């Protein structure tokens, strides 16, 4: 058995109806796992970029890239190397903070992680934080004690460092 690793797959796809379904369907049908998937417009008109985080050994990864490449609506697929890739995720956390004391603690934690408070109510604070997934996990763990009302994470999006493009 080869070693399972987490892979960051970046795919340039045609921006049209059904593409996400084709990609997601391919993963389910072939038994590949998806930890997360993000989609948005790209620098090229009519094309979108998908970032898929998946786990598997090298053989599985090879199949994923090859099968993705076979989809007619997929233009390009790259397995991004961890060392030479910047990877960021956005997360919103709504924390239960009914007292002045808790509120100031939460704000402090958010500050340490370069998070921002983007919404306040008498009962809650909402933190916005960007970073790699580990950093977000750590902040979530820290504020968990206060009571988390809601979390929304985008899943990571990524690209190569430096001048290299796909």
Partner 1 sequence: MKGGQAIIKSLTDAGVEVVFGYPGGVLLPLYDVIYDSNLRHILVRHEQCAAHAADGYARASGEVGVCIGTSGPGATNLVTGIATAYMDSSPILALAGQVPSHLIGNDAFQEVDTLGITMPITKHSFQPMKAKEIPGMIKSSFYIASTGRPGPVVIDLPKDVQEEEFEPEKNIKIELPGYKPTKKGHPLQIKKAAKLIINSKKPVILAGGGVILSESSLELLKLSETIGAPVTNTLLGKGSFPEDHELSLGMLGMHGRKTANFLVDECDCLIAVGCRFSDRTTGNVDEFAKNAKIIHIDIDPAEIGKNIEVDVPIVGDAKIVLRDLLDMIIKYKSNITTDEWVNHVKEFKNACIPRMTYNDVPLKPQTVIKEIFDTLEDDTIVTTDVGQNQMWMAHYFTSKHPRTFLSSGGLGTMGFGFPAAMGAKVAKPETDVVAVCGDGGFLMVCQDLATIKEYDIPIVICILDNRRLGMVAQWQKLFYDKRMSHTHLGEVPDFVMLAESFGVNAERLERPGDIKDCLSNALKSGEPTLLDIIIDPEEILPMVPPGCGLTELVGEYKVERENLEEITYHEKSQEKVGD
Task: Name which of 13 and 91 has its Cβ closer to partner 1.
Answer: 13
Find the binder of partner 1 among 7, 8, 9, 13 (CB under 8 A).
13
Strands (E), the chain: 5-14, 36-41, 47-56, 74-80, 85-96, 116-120, 124-131, 148-153, 157-160
Q: Give yes or no for a contact between 83 and 102, defined as CB atoms under 8 angstroms apart.
A: no
Question: Which of the residues 55 through 114 are near partner 1 (CB under 8 A)?
Answer: 59, 62-63, 66-67, 69-75
Q: Does 21 bind partner 1 (CB under 8 A)?
A: yes
Q: Does 15 bind partner 1 (CB under 8 A)?
A: no
Binding segment for partner 1 among 24-32, 108-116, 129-137, 139-147 (CB under 8 A)?
Answer: 24-32
Binding segment for partner 1 among 22-30, 89-97, 99-107, 122-130 (CB under 8 A)?
Answer: 22-30
Question: Which of the residues 111 through 140 are near partner 1 (CB under 8 A)?
Answer: none
CB of 6 to partner 1, least distance (A): 21
How far apart, in whole angstroms, are the C-alpha atoms of residue 90 and residue 133? Answer: 9
Token output for 89: 């995720």
Q: Which helix (H) or strand (E) holds 133?
A: helix 133-144
Which stretches within 10-132 are classed as H helix? 19-29, 58-70, 100-112
Taking alpha carbons only, the member of 97, 144, 135, 131 closest to residue 117 is 97
CB of 31 to partner 1, least distance (A): 12
Dihedral sign from CA coordinates of 21, 129, 141, 120: negative
Q: Does 41 bind partner 1 (CB under 8 A)?
A: no
Task: Name which of 71 and 142 has its Cβ closer to partner 1.
Answer: 71
Report how many residues bind partner 1 under the rule CB under 8 A. Answer: 21
Binding site for partner 1 (CB under 8 A): 13-14, 17-18, 21-22, 25-26, 29, 59, 62-63, 66-67, 69-75
């Amino acid at each position: 058995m080869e070693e399972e690793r987490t892979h960051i797959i970046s795919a340039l796809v045609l921006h049209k109806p059904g593409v996400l379904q084709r990609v997601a369907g391919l993963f389910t049908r072939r038994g590949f796992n998806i930890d997360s998937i993000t989609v948005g417009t790209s620098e090229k008109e009519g094309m979108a970029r998908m970032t898929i985080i998946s786990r598997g050994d090298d053989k599985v990864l090879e199949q994923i890239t090859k099968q993705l490449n076979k989809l007619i609506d997929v233009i390009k697929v790259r397995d991004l190397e961890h060392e030479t890739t910047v990877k960021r995720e956005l997360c919103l956390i709504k924390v239960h903070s009914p007292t002045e004391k808790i509120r100031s603690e939460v704000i402090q934690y958010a500050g340490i992680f370069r998070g921002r408070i983007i919404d306040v109510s008498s009962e809650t604070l909402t933190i916005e934080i960007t970073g790699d997934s580990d950093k977000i996990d750590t902040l979530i763990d820290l504020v968990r004690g206060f009571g988390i009302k809601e979390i929304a994470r985008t899943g990571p999006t990524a690209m190569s460092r430096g001048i290299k493009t796909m």
